């Protein structure tokens, strides 16, 4: 008598991935907004500034260590998957290992400008690697578009960085709208992808827009002489998020700068429903929210590998569901022994 079972493969992210996304959000918002905004905001808060910078640095180091472990674990899980193209293996594996090595090096000392450029250039590469694979399945086709948008936005911004570093003055003539449109489209499509099929998809989009627009509206008078301390701090935080200033200051510019953080916060909440793709897309958006930082490329590499695993888990779940349904139609007892 042999017991025949059909193990169901779960795509639930578990506490580790959800907690990592939460830590990544805190590290990104601390490094990009709070730490640059607090110094000079007001007098008498020296202890708060030091404490905030210390906490932000500790969270960043913990997230970097967790991201390295996550990338190595995902790489070991993804590479043996059947049907993964040779080209994808040859690009994703060396790129991920190079990113991990450079992030480890940056933890002890600042990277040289050439290595920093290599690390920044690896972000569009790792994000665009799985696009063809994801585009071949209906469930992950929208995720492929999101990776395309974030990958090209990163490539355009990297071009601006490099041309500015070489002394080619294009700051005033560089069109900011393609990068803004791509980032906002990626944030919006991520909400649509993860809230698709749920009754509260409209609520998720509404919360995303509120999280992006309301803080920008509250900070609209932060640069005026009569602004309160909270308005000044919020305004300085949003200005720090805009740097380098490819977008214009004001309500729209601040809302666009907040869009990746607002969307990733909504995706963090949606990931509680047990979808790894929410975590992957949240990391993808955070990779764009911290341009030029080593941890941004680490987020991008983890997001890329996680989307590949989601693709294969979804494919096997679909095949397993069909097989289980056929077996149930043939046998009155689903767990019968033969």
pLDDT digits (tens, 9 = 90+) for 112-162: 777 888 888 889 999 999 998 888 888 888 999 999 999 999 888 888 777
- What is the mean pLDDT of the segment spanning 183-190? 93
pLDDT at 316: 53
- Residue 108 near residue 146 (C-beta atoms within 8 A): no
Average pLDDT estimate for 77-89: 82
Burial-class residue 322 by CB neighbours within 10 Å (0-12, 13-18, 19+): exposed
Please write the tens of the pLDDT for every residue from 258-309.
889 999 999 998 888 767 889 999 999 999 888 778 888 999 999 999 999 8
Range with lowest mean pLDDT among 50-54, 104-108, 319-323: 319-323
pLDDT band for position 42 (cuts 50, 70, 90): low
Q: What is the mean pLDDT of the chain?
A: 76
**Residue 278 has which token pair?**
């929410």
Mean pLDDT of the region 156-185: 74
Q: What pLDDT score was predicted for residue 332?
A: 33
For residue 201, is pLDDT > 90?
Answer: no
SS3 per residue for the chain: CCECCCCCCCCCCHHHHHHHHHHHHHHHHHHHHHHHHCCCCCCCCHHHHHHHHHHHHHHHHHHHHHHHHHHHHHHHHHCCCCCCCHHHHHHHHHHHHHHHHHHHHHHHCCCCHHHHHHHHHHHHHHHHCCHHHHCCCCCCHHHHHHHHHHHHHHHHHHHHHHHHHCCCCCCCCCCCHHHHHHHHHHHHHHHHHHHCCCCCHHHHHHHHHHHHHHHHHHCCCCCCCCCCHHHHHHHHHHHHHHCCCCCCCCHHHHHHHHHHHHHHHHHHHHHHHCCHHHHHHHHHHHHHHCCCCHHHHHHHHHHHHHHHHHHHHHHHHHHHHHHHHHHHHHCCCCCCEC
What is the reported pLDDT for 189? 93
Average pLDDT over residues 83-108: 84
| Cα distance between residue 91 and residue 12, in whole Å | 27
Top-confidence residue, 207 or 13: 207
pLDDT score, position 323 = 31
Q: Is the pLDDT of residue 16 over 90?
A: no
Whether 225 shows a pLDDT value over 80: the answer reads: no
**227 vs 144: CA distance, rounded Å:** 44
Choose from 175-184, 236-245, 298-307 the range with maximum mean pLDDT.
298-307
Residue 231's nearest CA partner among 244, 245, 215 is: 215
Residue 2: pLDDT above 50?
A: no
């Amino acid at each position: 008598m042999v017991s025949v079972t059909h193990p169901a493969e779960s795509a639930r992210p578990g506490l580790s991935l959800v907690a990592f996304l939460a830590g990544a959000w805190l590290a990104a918002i601390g490094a990009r907004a709070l730490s640059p905004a607090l110094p000079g905001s007001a007098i008498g808060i020296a202890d708060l500034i030091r404490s905030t910078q210390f906490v932000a640095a500790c969270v960043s180091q913990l997230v970097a260590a967790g991201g390295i472990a996550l990338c190595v674990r995902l790489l070991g899980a993804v590479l043996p998957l059947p049907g993964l193209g040779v080209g994808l293996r040859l690009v994703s594996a060396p790129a991920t290992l190079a990113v991990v090595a450079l992030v480890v090096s940056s933890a002890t000392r600042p990277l040289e400008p050439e290595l920093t450029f290599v690390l920044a250039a690896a972000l569009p590469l790792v994000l665009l690697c799985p696009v063809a694979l994801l585009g071949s399945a209906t469930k992950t086709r929208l995720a492929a578009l999101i990776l395309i948008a974030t990958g090209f936005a990163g490539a355009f911004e990297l071009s601006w960085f490099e041309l500015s570093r070489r002394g080619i003055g294009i700051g005033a003539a560089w069109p900011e709208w393609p990068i803004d449109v791509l980032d906002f489209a990626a944030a919006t499509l991520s909400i649509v992808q993860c809230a698709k099929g749920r009754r509260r998809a409209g609520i998720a989009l509404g919360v995303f827009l509120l999280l992006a627009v309301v803080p920008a509206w509250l900070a609209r008078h932060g640069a005026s002489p009569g602004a309160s301390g909270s308005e000044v701090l919020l305004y300085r935080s949003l200005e720090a998020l805009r740097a380098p200033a490819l977008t214009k200051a004001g309500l729209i510019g601040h809302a666009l700068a907040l869009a990746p953080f607002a969307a990733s916060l909504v995706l963090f909440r949606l990931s509680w429903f047990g979808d790894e793709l929410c975590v992957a897309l949240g990391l993808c958006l955070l990779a764009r929210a911290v341009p030029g930082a080593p941890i941004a490329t680490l987020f991008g590499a983890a997001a890329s590998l996680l989307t590949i695993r989601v693709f294969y888990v979804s494919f096997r779940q679909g095949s397993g569901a069909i097989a289980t349904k056929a077996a149930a139609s043939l046998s009155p007892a689903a767990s019968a022994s033969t």
